[in-house]
Amino acid sequence: MAVQTVALLTAGGLAPCLSSAVGGLIERYTEIDPSVKIICYVSGYQGLLRGESIEVDSEMRNQAGLLHRHGGSPIGNSRVKLTNVADCVKRGLVKEGEDPQKVAADQLVADGVDVLHTIGGDDTNTAAADLAAYLARHDYGLQVVGLPKTIDNDVIPIRQSLGAWTAADEGARYFWNVVSEHSANPRTLVVHEVMGRNCGWLTGATAQSYRAMLDGKEWLPEFGVPRARRDVHAVFVPEMELDLAAEAERLKAVMDEVGNVNIFLSEGAGVDSIVAQMEAAGEEVPRDAFGHVRLDEINPGKWFSEQFAPMIDAGKVLIQKSGYYSRAAAANTRDLELIRSCVDTAVETAMAGGTGLVGHDEERGDELRAIEFDRIKGGKNFDIDAAWFEELLAGIGQPKRAKVAVEH
């Protein structure tokens, strides 16, 4: 069956790829077959459930290339899980007794959609997988072709998700200004909280990018501007065991020698300990529609700073989060190249009648292909044994302590 109508939606949190991916899909379809109708659902799955969409007209097609220069999503996002019926009903997206997946499928049929392109992270694409399976079971004859967006870079088996490289570089740029705050007070502890619920890749990559930035700077130690005060002194990620006492002793020595301490922290590092404390105290742990702990509300950076500050004799604590700054950026050159190749493969897959999530398949020799949805999972761990990460830790004098699996 020839592709006549294509629909796009972006969902989940922002990443520096959404705008470019939307623009790229519009450009590629227009290049291959200008007769293909393109519609965009507004605010992700929410717009699909409500039947809210816009049609891409000729002027929008002509201007689509400009989207590569912008961050955010031009068509809007939302966090909606189609299989969480109670949440969809509560938010007024479907009526009591309705199945959100059927509502979504029927809307796609009503709009004459042949191919739905979803652009999102693991939650978005597991939702896409559920929807694709529903469509197949009920013979709707629709294709779903996704693109992997997450700055955490934690989608199995995707080698590199769109936007993650940019987010790391932007987080480094953010910290370059923040770190100067150490000069406002003696013995300042600066905690740079980086996004990464279960995966420390972004924190490690941000620290690596930042240190590479430092390599290109000139220093004036005679004027109190030595590299050591602006360097990274510790990197904490969920995949590493944290020996609080040992690290405090090491960082206390850094504080005494340098005069300040800079920590790069994954927002998901130590969350198990924080949640355990809250539950032991009888406090309710805030969670979203997907069951994830609301990290902004439990504030891991604050918890970590409260542990370390007295142990390293910090005179002031500054907690800064680069997530919203970095995830809303426009894609950099490296990501634009990745986005372009994935977009081309996504359109090629759609035109050939295929389905799946497009990316470099780590379980198939890093081949760029449409990966079967039933193989897509979130929560990929960061490989702390990667040579570049070991080099990073060695460069800052931090021992690597891998988590040890516990038998239950």
Residue-by-residue pLDDT tens, the chain, 408 positions: 588 999 999 998 999 999 999 999 999 999 999 999 999 999 999 999 999 999 999 999 999 999 999 999 999 999 898 989 999 999 999 999 999 999 999 999 999 999 999 998 877 777 887 888 888 888 888 899 999 999 999 999 999 999 999 999 999 999 999 999 999 999 999 999 999 888 999 999 999 999 999 999 999 999 989 999 999 999 999 999 888 899 999 999 999 999 999 999 998 886 777 777 677 778 787 787 667 777 666 678 888 898 899 999 999 999 999 999 999 999 999 999 999 999 999 999 999 999 999 999 999 999 999 999 989 988 899 999 999 999 999 999 999 987 744 332
Residues 146, 147, 151, 157, CA torsion sign? positive
Q: Which residues are catalytic?
A: 152
Q: Who's near 310: CB < 8 A, 6+ residues apart?
A: none
Amino acid sitting at position 55: E
Q: Contact, 89 vs 36, CB < 8 A?
A: no
**Residue listed under structure tokens 């629709």:** 142
- 220: DSSP letter: B
Tokens 């939302």 -> residue: 78
Q: What Å distances lie between residue 81 and 118, 124, 197, CA to CA?
A: 13, 8, 18
* Nearest CA among 134, 154, 108, 219 for reference residue 13: 154
The pLDDT assigned to 144 comes to: 92
Length of the chain, in residues: 408
Type of residue at 206: T
What's this model's pTM, rounded to 2 decimal places? Answer: 0.92
Sign of CA dihedral 171, 176, 177, 178: positive
**Euclidean distance between the first and final Cα of the chain, in Å?**
52
Which residues contact residue 235 at a Cβ distance below 8 angstroms, ignoring those fewer than 6 apart?
200, 203, 204, 207, 263, 264, 392, 393, 396, 398
What is the C-alpha separation between 48 and 194, in angstroms, rounded?
Answer: 31
Q: Is the omega angle on the peptide bond into residue 157 within 30 degrees of 0, that is, cis?
A: yes
CB burial string 100-135: b at 16+ within 10 A, e below: bbebbbebbeebebbbbbbbbbbbbbbbbbbbbebb
Residue type at position 401:
R
Q: Residue 160: phi, psi to the nearest 5?
A: -145, 115
